[in-house]
Chain A
Amino acid sequence: MKLRQTDVLVIGSGFGAAAPALRLAEAGLKVTVLEKGPNVGPGLYRQTQDPKYLMKYLKGLGSDHLDLVYAEAVGGGSGFYEMVSLRAPRVAFAQRDGNGSPLWPDGVTREALDPYYDRAEAMLRVEQIRAEDVPRSGQVFALMMARLGYSCDRARYAVRNCLGSGFCVTGCIYGAKQSLHVNYLPQAAAAGARITPDAEALSVRALPASATRSVRRGDPRAPRYAVRCRIGGEGGALVEYHAGIVVLGGGTVGSARLLLASRPGLRHLSDQVGQHIAFNGSVKAAGILPDDLPDGDMYSGRSHPGMISYEFLESHGITISAAKPLPVPMIATARLRLPDVPAATGWWGADNVALMEQLRHRVIVLFTMGLTPPVGSLTLDSMGAPQLAVTSLPALSRYERGTEAILRSILTRNGCRPLAVDAVDRTGAPQPGTAFSTTHQTGSCRMSDSPGTGVVDPHGEVHGHPGLFVSDGAAIPSSLAVNTSLTILANAERIADGILARYGLSGATNVVPGRTAVRATIP
């Protein structure tokens, strides 16, 4: 096996990985970024529904009641996300577990994250959508909320000069999306970071004290960890990296998998690894618009339809948006059916075609994200394959029914004809009972004040393992009720600042929005 040295090894290249990679490279450290997925970017995306393309980059992990979808590619989820960039509401940080203990560790609050949200928003050029750019489905949704006296806000996005092609979730071929490919990653590379695609970290091992004794304590370059990797670009060669600082940014699934596989080499690892996965409990409802509401449009304008309602956040812990799913993700998630046709046959054949013909303009899909508890867990089976499970099903199904009732009430009071939305399992068959599917998973290695309740401390450092950090969605301890990426990125910026402070490093911390010469410095 080949041996390589680096000061900092960053695992993954998504939101949680990109900020530490950039900031530590800016501080003069030798940074190596290993990304399991293939290289992809604006020149390689396709506007397609071809599963061969989608499956190359988008992966899933499922169980009977929960499906997690995530990207494995350079840039992590940023290449394929809908660019919704929202700060987590204060109520998200105030959540408590069943024993009444706060889910977020001391000191990690909305106020503490706000300066980092500022920085992340500047880097991604996040802006509120202009009223005249809200896609028609979003306009109709806002009108429906207004008719009932409810509020609805224009959402915020990481995009410039969007052409409204509607294929954000297969990658933006026009370079409008401010994914990590146009800001953090090129800037990290310019600062000296080396980013290697098709490179998977397999396990992490703490080096024996003797191997590090010769190096000053607190020296970030002192090799503390050995990370075994498979490098696709070198014919699948096994390489062991020795690094002083290791930052795990493999995502909620990837980082937990890696730590679980590393247990033999990390003696002090908390037994909480893989536990407490939160998933923003999303519930969907759909209806056919009444004649007095204008057409929506599933396929024009950005993938996310522009509007989000916080009306039920304080009362029910949910936000509500409309959704504009492309055909294949829609079919793979749920069967839409006219309520008065039989479940067994209404999902195909002439009845289904009659409904599908109305889908583009006359169907509205409503979608919630909620403050559901962190009750998912990930373990590895004897072959090392990840297994997902969920507890607290009665409470989740009460939440699901209650949320569905709110959505149906919004539909019916607007005169919509509600449709049956039957979730499908991984074989395409209806999935009875409570089932959530999400791209907003967090928390498998959550931040906590003690190793008994989580995996990393409030600074993202693994309890008992100095120099080993988790900076991605895995560290976020709760559901957020809004899309997760901006919070993950802001927290990763905060963790990167903490690493710099811990090792007495001063970095430039430049805030340079993608593809412009504007340059500013956070004081």
Chain B
Amino acid sequence: MNCPNDPFDARHPNRRQAIRLLAGGIAALAASACTPATIILKSYPEQYGRGTAATRRTLHAFTATVIPGLTPDEILAVDALEDPFYPTAKYCAFLASDLDRRAGRRHDRLFFELDLPKRTAIITKALDEGDATTRKLYTGAVFLTQAAVYGGIHDDSAGCRLTGFPGGNHLADPALVSYPDTSRFAARALSRDGNPA
């Protein structure tokens, strides 16, 4: 991470902008306003542009590492990582190139070619030992991946198979909303109307 054009380098203005952008965007998930995307980072090998095969392949592997057990059809989090609405879109190409760079350095392979334990170790190391910015960027990408998959954000009705989240627009069987033997669940009540104090 010591290349003079490295966008993750704190001295590089793009890096500072990326941090600000990330903070604004993640706050967005916590229901706050999103900082408008304003920067274009270009300091990575050409094949890692947003939406390129190399980037998507690596982000696919990243998602499958953050949430093991997804079927290929369920790895739609890549779309969220590349969605310009979220700050990750501005650095997902760097994320992909950084994952491949780390995989190359440790295993002489691309990230997607590694098995799950090795991919997990690479992300763990970046989160544990990376500098503050690397940790922030990886944290943001994991965070968005989880929101995208567990929340099924790409499709209102999709939900998430792993967690049993049904998504929207499905009505539960009323018989399954509450247990019928209500007296079994009754605690001593302090009031008759629900306003005890």
Which residues in A have some Cβ–Cβ distance to B below 8 Å? 46-52, 54-55, 58-62, 67, 69, 86-87, 89-91, 128-129, 131-136, 139-140, 142-143, 145-146, 149-156, 163-167, 170, 173, 294, 297-301, 307-310, 313, 326-329, 331-333, 344-345, 347-350, 352-353, 356-357, 359-361, 424, 426-429
- Chosen A-B contacts, 15 in total, with CB atoms closer than 8 Å, are A49-B152, A49-B156, A51-B29, A90-B197, A150-B187, A152-B189, A163-B171, A164-B172, A164-B177, A299-B165, A301-B177, A328-B153, A332-B29, A333-B30, A428-B139
- Determine whether B151 belongs to the interface, using a CB cutoff of 8 Å to chain A: yes
Residue among A51, A86, A136, A299 with most chain B CB within 10 A = A51
3 closest residue pairs by CB, A with B:
A47-B168, A89-B197, A428-B143
Q: Is the CB of B162 within 8 A of A331?
A: no
How far does the alpha carbon of A60 sit from the alpha carbon of B26 in the complex, in Å?
12
Residue B33 at the chain A interface, CB threshold 8 Å = yes
Q: A132-B180, A152-B188, A328-B147 are in contact. Are A349 and B65 (CB under 8 A)?
A: yes
Count, A-B residue pairs, CB within 8 A: 238
State A114–B160 Cα separation when bound (angstroms). Answer: 45
- Segment from B2-10, B51-59, B101-109, B120-128 that makes contact with A: B120-128
Interface size, B (range): 35 or more
B residues 133-173 touching A (CB-CB < 8 Å):
135-136, 139-140, 142-144, 146-147, 150-154, 156, 160, 162-172
Question: Knowing that A142-B187, A360-B164, A428-B142 are A-B contacts, what are 19 other residue pairs whose CB atoms are under 8 Å apart, sorted by A's residue number?
Answer: A47-B156, A49-B152, A49-B156, A49-B168, A86-B194, A86-B195, A132-B178, A133-B178, A143-B185, A164-B172, A310-B190, A327-B152, A327-B160, A328-B150, A331-B151, A349-B123, A356-B162, A360-B163, A428-B26
The CA-CA distance from A133 to B175 in the complex, in Å, is: 10
Q: Which residues on the A side are within 8 Å of B128 (C-beta)? A: 344
Q: Is the CB of B124 within 8 A of A55?
A: no
Q: B163: shortest Cβ distance to chain A, in Å?
A: 5
* Minimum CB–CB distance for A105 against chain B, Å: 21
Which residue of chain A is the closest to B23 with respect to CB atoms? A427
Q: Is B41 part of the contact surface with A, judged by Cβ < 8 Å? A: no
Task: Determine the distance from Cα of A307 to Cα of B196 in the docked complex, in whole angstroms.
Answer: 12
CA of A310 to CA of B195, assembled, Å: 10
Any chain A CB within 8 A of the CB of B69? yes
Known: A143-B185, A333-B30, A357-B162. A51 touches B147 (CB 8 A): yes
Find out whether the CB atom of A427 lies under 8 angstroms from the CB atom of B26: yes
Which residue of chain B is the closest to A163 with respect to CB atoms? B171
List the A residue with the shortest CB-CB distance to B24.
A426
Write the nearest CB–CB distance from A410 to chain B, whole angstroms. Answer: 12
B194 touches A153 (CB 8 A): yes
B28 within 8 A of A: yes
Q: A86-B195, A163-B171 are in contact. Are A55 and B178 (CB under 8 A)?
A: no
Given A310-B190, A349-B66, A428-B140 in contact, is the A328-B182 Cβ separation under 8 Å?
no
A154 to B116, CA, bound (A): 47
Query: B67 on the interface (CB 8 Å rule)?
Result: yes
Across-interface contacts of B23 in A (CB, < 8 A)? 426-427
Q: Which residues of A contact B196 (CB under 8 A)?
A: 89, 151, 153, 310
> Given A60-B30, A310-B196, A165–B151 Cβ distance below 8 Å?
no
Contact B33 A59 (CB under 8 A): yes
Interface presence of B22 (CB below 8 A): yes
Residues of B within 8 A of A352 (CB): 67, 146
Q: Which residues of A contact B76 (CB under 8 A)?
A: none
Provide the residues of chain B in CB contact with A86, threshold 8 Å: 194-195
Q: In this assembly, does B110 line the interface, its C-beta being within 8 Å of a C-beta of chain A?
A: no
Contacts of A333 in B (CB 8 A): 30
Q: With A51-B29, A134-B182, A328-B29 in contact, is A361–B177 under 8 Å at CB?
A: no
